[in-house]
Structures are given as C-alpha cells and as structure tokens.
Structure 1
Amino acid sequence: MSSPNPQHFRALVLHGAKDLRLSGELQIAIRVTGLCGSDLHYYQHGRNGDFIMRAPLCLGHESAGTITAVGTDVEDFQVGDRVALEVGFPCTSCGLCIEGRYNICRSLRFRSSAKTFPHLDGTLMELTNHPFDKCHKLPAHISDVQSALIEPLAVCMHAIRRSNPPDAESVARALSATRVPEETAALIFGAGAIGMLLTAALAATQHFSTLVVADIDEARLRIAASLPFPLEKIRTYLLPKPASEATPQAEAEADLAQQILSAFCLPNGFSRTYDCTGVASCIRMGIYATGPGGAVVQIGMGGAAQPNIPLSAAALREVDLIGVFRYATRGYPDAVALMGSEKFQGVAEKVATHFVRFEEGDRAFELAAKGVDEQGKPVVKVIVVSGTRFER
C-alpha cells in the first residue's frame, strides 16, 4: 500500500491465467489478539504437532480490530467499524464447503498455521488486510476484551452444535425434579480458556441443568466456579495430578470416573462429556463417565497418537465419539451473538486474565507458557494489546 492509512484502496489479484480481479478486502488495525495453545507450540518448539515451520511465520489468529480502509468493491463496511477476524480460507466450492463445513475442506488454509506452504501469516500484527467476507462486525457494546474471545467462543459454539445437547424441555423437567437426571448433566474436562468459555456457553444456553468442570488446577477451578451463573449450575471437581500408578492405567481411570459420578449422584453417567484437554487419560475417563447413549465430544488437541482408548467401553454402550475441529459456518455469528448478550456479561473478564502490550511479545508468550504470573496467579488467557486505545 502506498499510504499507511488510506480511506480507500484497490488491489488487483491474479486468480488464474489472465484472470485479474479487484480484491474484496478490508484493512484492519489490530487491537487485540488472544494467544492460543497452537501459538505456544510454535513458539516453544517451532511446530504444532505434525505442522512444522519451514519459513518465518507470524503467529496469532484470535484477533479483532478497527477498519482503517475499505476496498472499493466492498459493501456494508466502513472505516471505523470494529470487526472480529475469521481466519480460515476454504475453497468454497467443494461438497463440504457447500454443506457449511468449510473447517474440514481439504483445501483449507489457516492464518498462523504451518500446515500449508508457503505459510499463511497470522494476525499478531499492527495492520493487516483481510477478506471482507471473513470479517464479522461487532456491536458497540462488545468490549475489546470480549472481542478477543470471539474466536475461541466460536470453537465452543461449534462443539455445542456438534454435540446435539438436550433441549430446553428436558432441562426444565430436570430442574423440577428432586434430583438431577443424568440426561441433563454434562462433564467438562479442562478449566482453560476453551473449557471456561464452553462451560459459560452451556450455562447461558441452558442445555444442561448441571455442569461439572474437572481439572488438576485448583486455582483455575475457583475461577470456573466464579463464572456469573448460579452456584448450583456449575460444579467443580479437582482431579489428582499425574503420578506413578500403583494400579493398571485403565482400572485407575475407570475408578476415577466412577468417583466423579458418585460425587454428583450420577450413577448412570453424564449425557455429554466435553474434553478440552487433549490428554489421553481425560479422553479415557470421559468414555467411562459418559452414560449409555451419550457422547464424548473431543475439542482439545493431543498428540498424533492416543494409545489405549477403550473403544469397546464406548461401543458396547453406544457412546458416540464426536470430533470437533475449530468452527464451521455458524461458529462466528453464534459467538458474536452470545458474547453480546446480557446473559454472557461478566464472562470475558473471568477468562481474559492477563494483558500484555504488543511491544512485549516475548513476555506474553512466556507468561502463557508458565501458566502462572509473577504473583502466583493463574494465567487462563493472555491478550496482546496493540495501539493506544483499549477498552476493557
């Protein structure tokens, strides 16, 4: 661009031989970017699972900002609008894309991922161009803090949709009963940012009468318990930290799953278990803790191989194993709507625990990697802040 802050700009993009078109892009001054677990993997190891960096890569994909320029072929946006950036670019024409499942398009490219080469740079930058159809306008009452959490909340909204949770009538029947029926109880493994946002989304959308959050970190569980919902709605369970096993692994995990069920008087199991950790032991416990006809929803990303998953324990009770990968077509619109709703107020302030200036990038990553700050307080989500204006 010839000018850092033009009011309008035009760019010719080659789509094929002799096929030059005006690009439908917006120029955006990034205000906030949340750090994701994948960002940390790249920062610490130069790779995220099987995706290995082959060239310098700008990280970050949980971003929101303010439009500073609008392509002349773009409608419905203007300079000054605040937007959240959806950073997956599918082919748009395959069967999966047409079904609205662009997240598993075989040709998908994703900003900040080393899966494809040349890599597509992320959004942890001060100024970026982005396709207008992947920008979601934010209402004025959504704060900068809330806007930084739209992307991970979109993951949660997609997970809820995939899990086909109980309807409102089932929950109403449970609330009028003397005890909580299993079909309206859900278990969430992991009290990180995704786990807390998922718990809040499930509480706000009232798909379950009881939510149990399990984690090995007591401080994070205290934050989860303090989410702005009725105390009887969100319960917590402190898992034992990994140690040398005196009993066989499968037996120990089955026993622990039974202990969780006993603690909440759910002898027949949870209706849905959402694993936000990717840890193999949690996946196994989730299968054991889920009741017949229920589902284990896999959100957290673990290693490439997850050994000794008790598939027979799932198959014999028809417990469905449901994979979740990022978000599909409805993820962002649903996330923006929920984040801006009255029933979700106060959630973002619990999840976004630390804020670091753009110029202190190294500190932001180190803080996220350690999991606790200099005062010993738990780190749930680190937000990198750009520019001079920032509204919590």
Structure 2
Amino acid sequence: MSNGYGKKSNSPILASVLHGPRDLRLEIRSVSDPAPHELQIAIKRTGLCGSDVAYYKNFRNGDLQAVAPLSLGHESAGVVVAMGESVQGFHIGQRVALEVGVPCDDCRTCQRGRYNLCAKMRFRSSAKSVPHYQGCLQERINHPAKWCHKIPSHVSLDSAALLEPLSVAIHAVRRSFIEQGDTVVVYGAGTVGLLVAAMAKLSGATTVLISDVDSGRVEYALHNGFATKGYINTKTSPLTELSDKLMAAKETAVDVVDIACADQPDAEGADVTFDCTGKEICIQAGLYTTRPGGQLVMVGMGTPIQTLPVSAAHLREIDIIGIFRYANTYATGIKILSSGVLPCLDNMVTHRFQGLDAVPKAFEVAGRTVDHEGSLVLKVVIET
C-alpha cells in the first residue's frame, strides 16, 4: 500500500527500549505505512510520568510486570507525516496530541462511554496487554486517527503533551461533586496533583489546599496559582504498627483541616479530598480530612493492598471514588488550554532533554524531586 507521500513501505526508526530495570537501549525498529484509519506521527515531545519511572526502575508498575522489551512514554505530541487512505480531516504537518489508550469500541463498557475501563484496552507504554503496546519514545509511530487530537496553533507542543495528565485531572474532578465555594484538599503536588488542584479551582472551589512532603513543590503550587493554601507534611518517619500509622494520619488530617478551614466557622473538613499519591498514609489521612457526607477521590496508583480505617468512611457516609485514567477528556482539555484559564503548563516543564539517546539521563532526573544542583524537578520532557 502506498500512502502517496513518498514514504517507504517499511522505514527504519530509532527507538528507546527498556529490556529490564534501568536497562535502556537505543534500537533500530521499522515502521510501516499507516493502515487505512491511521496517522503516522513524528513524535516531538514526550513527558515522563510516575508509571514510566516505575517501569524504568523495576521493569514493572505495581502489579503490571513487563514480560518483553518495552518502549516507554505516553504523554506525547507530534506532527502528522503520513496518512492512511481512509483518514479525513487531517493534513501533513498538522500538530496533534496523542490519546494513547485504544479501546475495543465494541463492548458494553465502551458503548456506555467509559472506554477507559475497557477490558481490551491497549495503552501505550503499559505492560497490561500482551504483546505490549509500545510507547512513544520512538521517532515515529502509527496511531489511529480517532485518538489523535488536533491542537490550535497557539498551544505549544509542551502543553499538548501535558494534555495527558491534564485529562487525568479533568476526569478526577468530573467524578467528584465540587460545588461553588467548596473546600478541596489535594494530597500530592506532582504534575497530576497540581493539575487536579487547578481544575478544582476552575470548578468552583474557593479554597484549595495542596499537601506534599516536598516544600519546593508546595511553594511552586502557591506561587503559580495552582492552589490557594499549602501544607508541608513533615511526618515522614517510618512507622510499623497500624495504630501508630493511623495516629500519624489523624494528626496530619487535623493540621490540614486547621489550615484549610481556618476562616470557616464550624467547618467539619474538606468537602472533597483528592489523593494523588497512592500512598497508604495519605489515603488514611484523606479519610480523616474529609467532612461527613464528603468525598475521597483516589487518583494516585499505589500499593495494591492497603489498610484503611473504613469505619471513618462508613459512619460518616464518605464516598470513596476510584479513578483510572480518563475518558472523553481531550476535547475539553484542548478548550481549557486554548482559553488560558489555567496556570501556564509550559512552566511545569522543569527539565528538557534532547534526543532519544538522552532518555536514560532523563529518567534518572525524573525519579527525583530535586536535581543535582538542588533545583525543583517537576516535569521532565524528551524533545525529539
């Protein structure tokens, strides 16, 4: 099949491929012409996220063990360089953001619009499906045109790549019931936590407190308008007894609520609490932070088995809501980015690395909260 744009049937490309813990190799792969409903995208930006770092360090992410070489990267944007014969509405040179989860589109879950929960979902850079769906740390990939989103000319490629974590935040806030004037607490001030806080403000919350163990991230959130209040959690000493863990979680919750609700008479806690860490003590603290009848939204993916004080939710009718990726969010995210109502996402990129040969160095930085010079590490992006 010829795509009409001078591309060979199989062209060589460079790819960064993970073969085991910290075993990244540059390899030559081949990419074919795009299928009838696919676009071929030259990848220009890819952000590294926590799941990528987990695979890099351990060759696994939680319960998901990689069983074959895997290219990482799923926060990506690029440029159309070839089109399948059935594709309409795109042109060569068009800039696009990639939604890298491809569902089956046929099951009842997909038909209900919750395609992020599709049992047959293939998600780039994830080991969940076998054979693994390769990620975006490659020079070019073929991707279904349905899951490529055109970006306006005034939206940067950096921001377009960050549409992926922004989609997580949009989905998380949609799953909650934030009302105008609400108080929201966000545990975790990484990329997703910052964007959840920003979306909570955009959704009407007038008080948004963000908490993290890293003072630099909390200061960044406040200085750049992601949150209105901050709390630096210094209770980080390792605890082994459950009773001690729960006491520490309660103490953290008391401190957080005192700050978040300082100007609210008779306040009983946060209306909505988001945990963006996945850490047991933060989820425990989140339950104690939330007012009776409120919501705890679990965004972060952490240890699969955790001990939670369920009675704290049961007796106070706190809704515990799970979040898994996102669905139907990219169009909304593009509108939000285009409007300029969020803090500048470009500024969230603290470190840039040029070329796929720099990927190992990029991962070493992405796994830290500060770099070797002591500067804040927030979002690491590979430019190709």
* TM-score range for the pair, normalised by the shorter chain length: 0.7 to 0.9
Aligned equivalents of 2:147 and 2:133: distance in 1? 15
Name the counterpart of 1:18: none
Counterpart of 2:89 in 1: which secondary structure? Answer: coil
Name the counterpart of 1:268: 268
Where do residues 287-326 of structure 1 align in structure 2 (5 Å cutoff)? 287-307=287-307, 309-326=308-325
In the alignment, is the contact (CA less than 8 A) between 1:276 and 1:299 conserved in 2? yes
In the alignment, is the contact (CA less than 8 A) between 1:30 and 1:127 conserved in 2? yes
C-alpha distance 310-134 of structure 1, shift in aligned 2 (>3 A): same
Aligned equivalents of 2:126 and 2:331: distance in 1? 23
- 2:84 is the counterpart of 1:71: yes
In structure 1, runs of 5+ residues without a counterpart are 12-20, 172-183, 387-392
Name the counterpart of 1:174: none
Give the partner amino acid of 1:234. T
Name the counterpart of 1:198: 196
Give the counterpart of 1:252 among 225, 248, 265: 248
Give the counterpart of 2:177 among 153, 164, 167: 164
Give the partner amino acid of 1:242. T
Where do residues 349-368 of structure 1 align in structure 2 (5 Å cutoff)? 349-358=346-355, 359-368=357-366
Q: How far is the alpha carbon of 1:254 from its aligned partner? A: 1.2
Most deviating of 188-197 and 259-268: 259-268
C-alpha distance 216-22 of structure 1, shift in aligned 2 (>3 A): closer
Counterpart of 1:213 in 2: which secondary structure? Answer: strand
- 2:119 is the counterpart of 1:106: yes
Aligned equivalents of 1:9 and 1:235: distance in 2? 55
Aligned equivalents of 1:89 and 1:263: distance in 2? 42
Deviations 1:293-320 (A, max 9, x none): 110000000011112x011110111100
Give the counterpart of 1:212 among 200, 206, 209: 209
Name the counterpart of 2:285: 285
Deviations 1:122-175 (A, max 9, x none): 111111110000000000010122112010000100001111211xxx33xxxx
C-alpha distance 24-194 of structure 1, shift in aligned 2 (>3 A): same
Aligned equivalents of 1:154 and 1:8: distance in 2? 33
Deviations 1:328-381 (A, max 9, x none): 1x211111111221212x421332111111231111000101221121111111
TM-score, normalised via structure 2 length: 0.88
Aligned equivalents of 1:362 and 1:75: distance in 2? 38
Give the partner amino acid of 2:286. G
Give the counterpart of 1:242 among 223, 236, 244: 236
In the alignment, is the contact (CA less than 8 A) between 1:186 and 1:210 conserved in 2? yes
In the alignment, is the contact (CA less than 8 A) between 1:352 and 1:383 conserved in 2? yes
Q: Quick one: percent identity of the two aligned structures?
A: 42
Name the counterpart of 1:24: 37
Where do residues 116-127 of structure 1 align in structure 2 (5 Å cutoff)? 116-127=129-140
In the alignment, is the contact (CA less than 8 A) between 2:156 and 2:346 conserved in 1? no
Aligned equivalents of 1:9 and 1:327: distance in 2? 35
Give the partner amino acid of 1:195. G
Q: How far is the alpha carbon of 1:2 from its aligned partner? A: 8.0
Deviations 1:199-246 (A, max 9, x none): 12222x2420110001110011111111246xxx61101111411559
Q: How far is the alpha carbon of 1:10 from its aligned partner? A: 9.0
Counterpart of 1:160 in 2: which secondary structure? Answer: helix
Give the partner amino acid of 2:136. T
Aligned-pair Cα RMSD in Å: 2.1
- 2:47 is the counterpart of 1:50: no
Aligned equivalents of 1:23 and 1:80: distance in 2? 18
In the alignment, is the contact (CA less than 8 A) between 1:227 and 1:350 conserved in 2? no
In the alignment, is the contact (CA less than 8 A) between 2:213 and 2:233 conserved in 1? yes
Q: How far is the alpha carbon of 1:250 from its aligned partner? A: 1.2
Name the counterpart of 1:181: none
